[in-house]
Amino acid sequence: MFVLRTRIRELREKFGLTQEGLAKKVGVRRETIVLIEKGDYNCSILLAHALAKELKTTIDRLFIWED
């Protein structure tokens, strides 16, 4: 079974962004960022792209599928 892990928190903290700050930049609610960070919500490709762009990385480096 695959488990989704994200590097959002790590990169967000690296850029000194809060969850609210990142949420504002990508145009979602703060709760959505919290759930994505925890791996509890599989976001759309569009949102994944926006997150990767804000965190200056690529989607495949931001979201990691672990077996």
Partner 1 sequence: MMSKRLNLFVRVFVLALLMAGFSLFFAIPGNSLWLVASVAIAMAVALVAIVAASEKVTSMKTGLPLEDELSRKATWKAGYYAFLTGLWLAIGIMAADFFMVEAFNLQQLEFRYAFEAMIVVPSLTFVALAVWFKKKGNLD
For 52, the token pair is: 């990767």
Residue burial 36-60, b: 16+ Cβ < 10 Å; e: rest = bbeeeeebeeebbebbbebbeeeee
Residue span binding partner 1 (CB under 8 A) among the ranges 10-18, 19-27, 55-63? 19-27
Sole binder of partner 1 in the list 7, 9, 24, 49 (CB under 8 A): 24
Residue span binding partner 1 (CB under 8 A) among the ranges 10-18, 39-47, 55-63? 39-47
Binding residues for partner 1 (CB under 8 A): 20, 23-24, 27-32, 35, 38, 40-44, 47
